[in-house]
Amino acid sequence: MNKNILKTGVQYFISKKWNTDIMSILLKKPIFDGVSQKELVEQLEAKKKCHTKLPTWFNTANIYYPNKLNIEQTSSEITATYKANLVNGKSLIDLTGGFGIDSYFFSKKCDQIHHCEIDKNLSEIGAYNYEILGVNNTTFNSENGLDFLQKNNQKFDWIYIDPSRRNDAKEKVFFMADCLPNVPDNLDFLFSKSNNLLIKTSPLLDFSVGIKEFENVKEIHVVALQNDVKELLWILEKNYTDAITIKTINFAKTGKQIFKFNLDKEKKVVNKFSDPLSYIYEPNSAILKSGAFKTIGNSFELKKLHEHSHLYTSEKLINFPGRRFKILNTIPYSKKEIKKLKISKANITTRNFADSVATIRKKYKIKDGGNQYLFFTTNSENNYIVLDCEKI
């Protein structure tokens, strides 16, 4: 951490030039004594990344930023706030604290926070920023979180872990046992320190794999921002063996879309099927990731087009956690029928369909965009169909 970056002139420059062309600055001679152009650019790039993702940090004067990769990898304020609302109590330890975004919001819910970060520079940056932000209930520990737990006799109300999804060779890994720290191999030890674990994982982690690797899974939260799944949150409770609750939330521009269900009951639900009626519904990405393909239709009394299409239909329009469309035309999938529509520009979605969107666009010369929406899918009789729709 270069303290020269905190000088008034440098901070004023960063506050005014955060959105400027980076190369134009990088190629200039050093502007400030004791601050290289590379260091200056790192501050500008990171601050720009915070503009919408971390507005509290962006709008606070004299914040010291790590490199932009740390900003890219950290939680957004929206997802960090959501996580914080899952915990309570007197104490929480963040074993993989990083830049400190999650710990900052945990500090609003718990009396005492321990932030562990093996990168000493990042730990120092976090501690400095907390002073600027006025957080006084967080202790920063510049060491491996598991090592800190080994040496500490304290038990915590919660342990939070965001394992690194890269191994020692910096290669991406897909099983939790290959992440750092290795949570599955340390579960017994972790449960000796707390009855409650909150674990953040990649949205790519398969539910069945996570459930198998993590014991005592109580809840799984699927969190999406504007229909883009950002993270899975796993709540583990010591000795918990009952049914697993899945909670999905999509922070859409129009508000929160929330849906929850019981994983065991999903397997027992029987859907009703129908040809396309007046309206079509596409669940948001959080629901699709959760696998609530039967429960979602049953909960809203909708009929499905096909077991594997995951599109739902109704005669009357209803509120729904996802996209809604009015069906204008339903046609069989054929070159002749598609040409009759005379479509040159449309938004295309495929569900349970052989051809990709790119193939369809090329084959029928349909550009992307506009107000028309085409769904290429399969009906309950296993025939390919095209739904010509307008978005509601």
Between CA 162 and CA 176 the distance in angstroms is 11
The arithmetic mean of pLDDT across residues 57-67, rounded, is: 96
DSSP notation for 8-69: HHHHHHHHHHTTS-HHHHHTSPPSBTTB-HHHHHHHHHHHHHHHHH-HHHHTSTTPPP--HH
Helix count and strand count (H, E) for the chain: 16, 16
Q: Judge whether residue 363 has pLDDT over 60.
A: yes
Distances 153 to 149, 194, 231 between C-alpha atoms, Å: 8, 11, 31
Does residue 180 share a domain with residue 79? Answer: yes
Between CA 274 and CA 312 the distance in angstroms is 9
Beta bridge partners of 368: 346
Encoded tokens for 93: 């330890």
Q: Which of 242, 270, 305 is the last residue of a domain?
A: 242
Asked whether the beta carbons of 269 and 298 are under 8 A apart, the reply is yes
Between CA 129 and CA 18 the distance in angstroms is 18
Does residue 225 share a domain with residue 89? Answer: yes
Name the DSSP letter for residue 84: H
Q: What percent of the chain has pLDDT over 90?
A: 89
Number of domains in the chain: 3
Model confidence band, residue 170 (pLDDT cutoffs 50, 70, 90): low
Q: Judge whether residue 167 has pLDDT over 60.
A: no
Q: Is 187 helix (H, G, I), strand (E, B) or coil?
A: helix
The H or E element containing residue 158 is: strand 158-161
Listed in sequence order, the residues at least 6 apart from 62 whose beta carbon sits closer than 8 Å to its beta carbon are: 6, 11, 132
The CATH number given to whatever domain includes residue 208 is 3.40.50.150
Does residue 38 share a domain with residue 129? Answer: no
The CATH number given to whatever domain includes residue 58 is 1.10.10
Does residue 158 share a domain with residue 110? Answer: yes
Encoded tokens for 21: 């062309």
* Closest CA relative to residue 126, chosen from 232, 54, 223: 54
What burial class does residue 354 get, using C-beta atoms within 10 Å of its C-beta: 0-12 exposed, 13-18 middle, 19+ buried?
exposed
Q: Judge whether residue 28 has pLDDT over 90.
A: no
Does residue 228 share a domain with residue 80? Answer: yes
In a domain, 291, yes or no: yes
Please provide residue 139's backbone torsions phi and psi, each rounded to the nearest 5 degrees.
-105, 130
Specify the long-range contacts of residues 82-87, CB closer than 8 Å, at least 24 apart: 82/221, 82/223, 82/249, 83/160, 83/198, 83/200, 83/233, 84/108, 84/109, 85/109, 86/198, 86/221, 86/233, 86/235, 87/157, 87/158, 87/160, 87/196, 87/198
In a domain, 273, yes or no: no
Q: Judge whether residue 173 has pLDDT over 70.
A: no
In a domain, 259, yes or no: no
Q: Which of 68, 85, 111 is the last residue of a domain?
A: 68
Range of the domain at 142: 74-242
- Residues 183-229: tens digit of each pLDDT: 999 999 999 999 999 999 999 999 999 999 998 999 999 999 999 99
Does residue 178 share a domain with residue 59? Answer: no
Does residue 173 share a domain with residue 309? Answer: no
In a domain, 247, yes or no: no
In a domain, 261, yes or no: no
- Residues 42-57: tens digit of each pLDDT: 999 999 999 999 999 9
Between CA 93 and CA 285 the distance in angstroms is 31
Asked whether the beta carbons of 304 and 267 are under 8 A apart, the reply is no
Does residue 81 share a domain with residue 60? Answer: no
Does residue 114 share a domain with residue 58? Answer: no
Does residue 120 share a domain with residue 185? Answer: yes
* Closest CA relative to residue 28, chosen from 12, 44, 4, 46: 44
Q: Judge whether residue 34 has pLDDT over 60.
A: yes
Listed in sequence order, the residues at least 6 apart from 378 whose beta carbon sits closer than 8 Å to its beta carbon are: 305, 306, 308, 309, 351, 352, 353, 384, 385
In a domain, 300, yes or no: yes
- Residues 310-351: tens digit of each pLDDT: 999 999 999 999 999 999 999 999 999 999 989 999 999 999
In a domain, 258, yes or no: no
Does residue 82 share a domain with residue 63? Answer: no
Model confidence band, residue 175 (pLDDT cutoffs 50, 70, 90): confident
Between CA 34 and CA 243 the distance in angstroms is 58
Task: Provide the CA 340 distance to its chain's centre, in angstroms.
Answer: 41
Cis bond before residue 203 (omega within 30° of 0): no
Does residue 218 share a domain with residue 83? Answer: yes
Q: Which of 189, 223, 242 is the last residue of a domain?
A: 242
Asked whether the beta carbons of 209 and 172 are under 8 A apart, the reply is no
pLDDT at 203: 92
pLDDT at 178: 80
